[in-house]
Amino acid sequence: MCIRDRVRAAWAAGARFDAWTDHFRPALWDQAFESAGVDMQSLLAAKDPSAPQPWDDLSKGLNHAFLVREREKALAGDVTGDCASGPCTDCGMSKKAPCADPARRRRSAGRSANAAQSPAPSARQAVRRLPLQRAAPPLRIRMALRKGPEARFTSHLDLLRLFVRAFRRARIRLALSQGFHAHPRISPGPPLPLGYTSRAEYIDFEVVDNVPAAFERIINAHLPAGIEVLRHAPVPERTPALDGAVGLAVYRIEWDGPPEAASLRPAVASFLSNNAFRVRRGEKDVDIRLSVADLSVQGNGLVLSVRLGTPATAKVKEVLDPLFESFEEPPLTFRVERTGLFIERQGQRLTPMEVLPHA
């Protein structure tokens, strides 16, 4: 039985966007495995460590016996010393560089003999012996990026995970949060709705060391098509976080076929003339008019400016629906691109990069 075939069977049956709770349908997955006579619980059960494992063919050189020993030591709370400064752990890498260095192997053999004469430290003693390292404060960086049509179905959280992997591959060390569950210190601006493209996205991140001078070229080499970092700049201390500082988002909306954009001018004027515009969300009505800063017809599309952080921030669809309700055949799909995010200061609209002194 091949897991790949069962995944494809679930996909063919209609399993889509399973990471979202409202789209996840476990019955499709149960049916895909039951049709092949496979019990999913047996696949999810604990595996026998001595049996062949699915990842054995992905080994980088570590032998199976060493991994089993490490598992038992981890369950017992024991610590394996660093072979660079202690005895060889017999992991299976002794024939690979740098372990293949004869001088290093002789030194390791000597340390092994000395270690055999002295009792091994307990896990708590080993932790206590670790030297305290006072790291320099991390450096905060802000980058501007675009999200093209190829990546428009990459969600907000998946975009962050994508960048964490890209930083790792580019060997740029992200700073970690404090606490038991450390996380990379990376914080984005206001999330972009799924399906939208953007030429004005921003992400703040903190690094242990400074970023390389050719940062854009290096990081873009590890990003998929549709995601491109445009520029970066250091962020001074006490600069407000992006999510709280950005107060305005600008969108451009286009579509194919009728109606012509110019024919929407009366509907746009009618919308803007209202002091209130209520829409239904769940079980209550909310007024979105206050969050619409501007709406205009430009060229073959619409330009919408939305204030963020208001009690009821307008969604693009909530503004489009009343504009097209008088047409018999409104467009089936729209292309929505976020063209700008702005921080409003003393009557000026500045991008998150323009507020930085060294951008």
168-225 residue pLDDT tens: 999 999 999 988 888 999 999 999 999 999 999 999 999 998 888 899 999 999 999 9
Q: What contacts 4, CB < 8 A, 6 or more positions away?
A: none
- CA–CA dist 356, 339 (Å, integer): 20
Could you tell me if 220 and 275 lie in one domain? no
Q: What is the pLDDT of residues 288-299, one digit of tens each?
A: 999 999 999 999
Which pLDDT belongs to residue 111? 54
Q: What is the pLDDT of residues 229-268, one digit of tens each?
A: 999 999 999 899 999 999 999 999 999 999 999 999 999 9
Tell me which residue range forms the domain holding 20.
Answer: 3-36
Tokens linked to 343: 């921080």
Asked if the structure places residue 273 within a domain, the reply is yes
Q: What is the pLDDT of residues 127-153, one digit of tens each?
A: 555 555 556 789 999 999 999 999 999
Asked if the structure places residue 20 within a domain, the reply is yes
Which pLDDT belongs to residue 81? 85
- Side chain identity at 14, as an amino acid letter? G
Which pLDDT belongs to residue 169? 95
Asked if the structure places residue 205 within a domain, the reply is yes
Q: Name the domain count of the chain.
A: 3
Could you tell me if 315 and 231 lie in one domain? no
Could you tell me if 163 and 235 lie in one domain? yes
Could you tell me if 260 and 239 lie in one domain? no
Which pLDDT belongs to residue 350? 96
Could you tell me if 322 and 267 lie in one domain? yes
Q: Which of 302, 291, 292 is nearest to 252 (CA)?
A: 302
Q: What contacts 289, CB < 8 A, 6 or more positions away?
A: 274, 275, 276, 277, 314
Q: 288 by DSSP, 3-state: which?
A: coil
Tokens linked to 90: 């017999």
Asked if the structure places residue 322 within a domain, the reply is yes
Rg, C-alpha atoms of the chain = 28
Could you tell me if 147 and 205 lie in one domain? yes
Could you tell me if 174 and 217 lie in one domain? yes
Could you tell me if 203 and 268 lie in one domain? no
Could you tell me if 207 and 167 lie in one domain? yes
Q: In this structure, what CATH number is given to the domain that contains residue 144?
A: 3.30.70.580
212, 243, 274 — which closes off a domain?
243
**DSSP secondary structure code for residue 322 in this structure:** H
CA distances from 288 to 23, 277, 283, 314 (A): 27, 6, 16, 5
Asked if the structure places residue 62 within a domain, the reply is no
Q: Which residue has the tokens 């430009």?
A: 298
Cβ atoms of 159 and 143 within 8 Å: the answer is no
Could you tell me if 235 and 184 lie in one domain? yes
Cβ atoms of 189 and 352 within 8 Å: the answer is yes
Asked if the structure places residue 45 within a domain, the reply is no
Q: What is the pLDDT of residues 34-89, one digit of tens each?
A: 888 888 887 788 888 888 777 777 767 788 888 888 988 998 999 888 887 778 88
287 pLDDT band, cuts 50/70/90, is very high
Asked if the structure places residue 107 within a domain, the reply is no
Could you tell me if 209 and 302 lie in one domain? no
Tokens linked to 253: 């909306």
Could you tell me if 239 and 290 lie in one domain? no
- CA–CA dist 260, 240 (Å, integer): 42
Tokens linked to 145: 């990026």
Cβ atoms of 258 and 264 within 8 Å: the answer is no
The pLDDT > 70 percentage for the chain reads: 87
The pLDDT > 90 percentage for the chain reads: 57
Pairing mode, strands 335-345 and 197-207 = parallel
**DSSP secondary structure code for residue 212 in this structure:** P
Q: Which residue has the tokens 């004005």?
A: 200
- CA–CA dist 304, 307 (Å, integer): 10
Q: Which of 221, 239, 245, 217 is nearest to 230 (CA)?
A: 217
Which pLDDT belongs to residue 113? 57
The H-or-E segment that residue 293 falls in is: strand 292-298
Q: Which residue has the tokens 């994508």?
A: 162
Q: What are the residue ranges of helices labelled H in 54-171?
A: 64-76, 102-117, 123-128, 156-169
Which pLDDT belongs to residue 39? 82
358 pLDDT band, cuts 50/70/90, is confident
108 pLDDT band, cuts 50/70/90, is low
Which pLDDT belongs to residue 199? 97
Which pLDDT belongs to residue 121? 57
